[in-house]
Amino acid sequence: MNFIFLGPPGAGKGTLAKEAAKAFNIPHISTGDIFRENIKNGTELGKKAKAIIDAGGLVSDEITIGLVKDRLSQPDTANGYILDGFPRTIPQAEALESFAKIDAAVNFDIADEAVVERLGGRVCCKDCGQMYHVKFNPPKVEGKCDKCGGELYTRDDDKTESIQNRLVVYRKSTAPLIDFYKEKGNLVDIDARPAPEKVLEEFKAKFKK
Ligand code: ADP
Ligand code: ADP
Ligand code: ZN
């Protein structure tokens, strides 16, 4: 199946996507991860995107659509994929229609207060990108990744001003996608409030895996 994960920043999209991708044996494609990889490697794309991302804005539709179109042309997407963090605007969703067939738009249902708390405590691994939460999902050893031993850091866009800006951007540019996919008849709501294991269970039950 071809999934898109829709929801506010910090809703737990990446956390569920990693586990669901394993369970369904399909790739997890995160535009945020692709941008961060480019920033880390100092590519032209990374240089263009960094200031926008740190401020909590959106990278241009043109750049982002091109990136996703290219990624979806790779052979590993033939049996399905999870698109996490794309589309984020109506033009992106419309462009996606022209080169992909989406089976389900999974909408993460959660209140703003909860996402602010999740983003405020998020730390990520510098080496493998795995995310943790200082309170809800702490690493076994403080500051170190359980999976690879890499150093954990706080993303620049997880500092307070950027968090508020991202929520404003989400309401204005991304939330309209909920109606877009509802009208197409492939919106599936998921309760994003419970612990990660519960959210994964609900996801598996809904999509029978
Ligand atoms: P979060 O997990 O907080 O929702 P992501 O890792 O998905 O954030 O994305 C980080 C940042 O990368 C976004 O705030 C935005 O600046 C940029 N970005 C990611 N996906 C898109 C997209 N589809 N369109 C435009 N910008 C994007
Ligand atoms: P998104 O990709 O939607 O921005 P993440 O998956 O990165 O969200 O999760 C944001 C933060 O919340 C991370 O610190 C993560 O460890 C934590 N988190 C994710 N899912 C849950 C959950 N179900 N309950 C509590 N905390 C969670
Ligand atoms: Zn790691």
| pLDDT at residue number 44 | 96
pLDDT digits (tens, 9 = 90+) for 132-163: 999 999 999 999 999 999 999 999 999 888 99
Task: Output the domain CATH number for residue 98.
Answer: 3.40.50.300
* Separation of CA 144 and ligand 3 centre (Å): 8
Cα 61 from Cα 93, distance rounded (Å):
10
Cα 90 from Cα 194, distance rounded (Å):
29
Residue 129 lies in a domain: no
Residue 128 lies in a domain: no
Cα 200 from Cα 121, distance rounded (Å):
21
Residue 68 lies in a domain: yes
Cα 150 from Cα 152, distance rounded (Å):
7
* Separation of CA 36 and ligand 1 centre (Å): 9
Within 6 A (CB) of ligand 1 lie 9-10, 14, 30-32, 35, 52-53, 56-59, 64, 85-88, 92, 157, 166
Residue of 119, 154, 159, 153 whose CA lies nearest to 136: 119
| pLDDT at residue number 15 | 98
- Confidence check: pLDDT of 208 > 90: no
Q: What type of residue is 157? A: D
Contact 5, 106 (CB under 8 A): yes
pLDDT digits (tens, 9 = 90+) for 27-69: 999 999 999 999 999 999 999 999 999 999 999 999 999 999 9
Cα 191 from Cα 84, distance rounded (Å):
17
Residue 150 lies in a domain: no
Containing structural domain, residue 36: 2-111+171-206
Task: Give the rounded distance of the alpha carbon of 39 from its chain centre.
Answer: 17
Q: How many domains does the chain have?
A: 1
Of the pLDDT bands very low, low, confident and very high (cuts 50, 70, 90), residue 194 is: very high
Torsions phi, psi for 99 (to 5 deg): -135, 10
Bridge partners of 188, per DSSP, are 106
| pLDDT at residue number 9 | 97
Residue nearest to atom 9 of ligand 2 (CA): 12
* Separation of CA 118 and ligand 2 centre (Å): 6
Residue 158 lies in a domain: no
Sign of CA dihedral 13, 158, 32, 59: positive
Residue 165 lies in a domain: no
Query: Which residue ranges are tagged as binding site for AMP?
Result: 31, 36, 57-59, 85-88, 92, 155, 166
